Amino acid sequence: MAEQQVMIEYQIVARGVHDPRVLEALRTVPRHQFVPPEYVDDAYDDRPLEIGFGQTISQPYIVAYMTELLAPLPQHRVLEIGTGSGYQAAVLAELVAQVYSVEIIPELGTAAQERLKRLGYENVQVRIADGWLGWPERAPFDRILVTAAVSQIPPPLLEQLRPGGRLVMPLGRPFGSQYLVLAEKSPAGNITTRTALPVRFVSCTRAQ
């Protein structure tokens, strides 16, 4: 689709994402299949779109940027928190061996799982649960990507990250400033963090 190519050149490459594997994944995943019918014509626009339940599918550039920062490799097992539409999970599924994605809103998680299956993504498993707790039964993970904002890195996620692994997440207050943070776990298990881009994500909610 031509629109998809335009999106990649003008929104993503122009802003500095150059990893060829990430760009290829963005070229391959049909984003228009992940948005509600009324937004199909807007699927490749430079913005997030509503997907219901007060949630959004992230702006394409943010998906690309976070994926590049995560540095996924073909043999990796990746945990995503916040399945939403399943779009980011599909992008990851193009790049790694296995994706585990946790969504707290049952309707979104179920719809995303069905959509991913229909599109042929066999290497994504979706679980309906509070992602703050990670997915201990499937740990450890080589990479963890959180796509809802939290005020601190959830300790269970750090525990479930493999030594040498990377975690990318938006950190900040619900309506205050948020920054993407990259956390790395050294082979000895020490955590170092660095701050990347300012962002605006929907907040992480917790199961009651």
CB of 188 to ligand SAH, least distance (A): 29
**Candidates 68-76, 85-93, 163-171, 190-198 — which segment interacts with ligand SAH by CB under 6 A?**
85-93
Instruction: Report whether 62 contacts 87 (CB < 8 A).
Output: no
Range list of β-strands (E), the chain:
49-52, 55-57, 77-81, 98-103, 124-128, 141-146, 161-172, 178-185, 191-199
Helix orientation angle between 20-28 and 60-70, rounded to the nearest 10 degrees: 140
Binder among 60, 82, 134, 165 for ligand SAH (CB under 6 A): 82
- H-helix segments, 49-169: 60-70, 87-95, 106-118, 155-160
The question of whether 58 is a catalytic residue gets the answer yes
Is there binding between residue 47 and ligand SAH (CB under 6 A)?
Answer: no
Instruction: Report whether 179 contacts 171 (CB < 8 A).
Output: yes
Instruction: Report whether 6 contacts 44 (CB < 8 A).
Output: yes
Question: Looking at beta carbons only, is 98 or 147 nearer to ligand SAH?
Answer: 147
Is there binding between residue 35 and ligand SAH (CB under 6 A)?
Answer: no
CB of 95 to ligand SAH, least distance (A): 14
Helix orientation angle between 106-118 and 87-95, rounded to the nearest 10 degrees: 40
**Candidates 10-18, 22-30, 80-88, 114-122 — which segment interacts with ligand SAH by CB under 6 A?**
80-88
**Candidates 23-31, 39-47, 128-136, 166-174 — which segment interacts with ligand SAH by CB under 6 A?**
128-136
CB of 186 to ligand SAH, least distance (A): 27
Q: Please report, as ranges, the residues that interact with ligand SAH according to CB under 6 A.
A: 55-58, 81-82, 84-85, 87-88, 102-105, 108, 130-132, 147-148, 202, 204-206
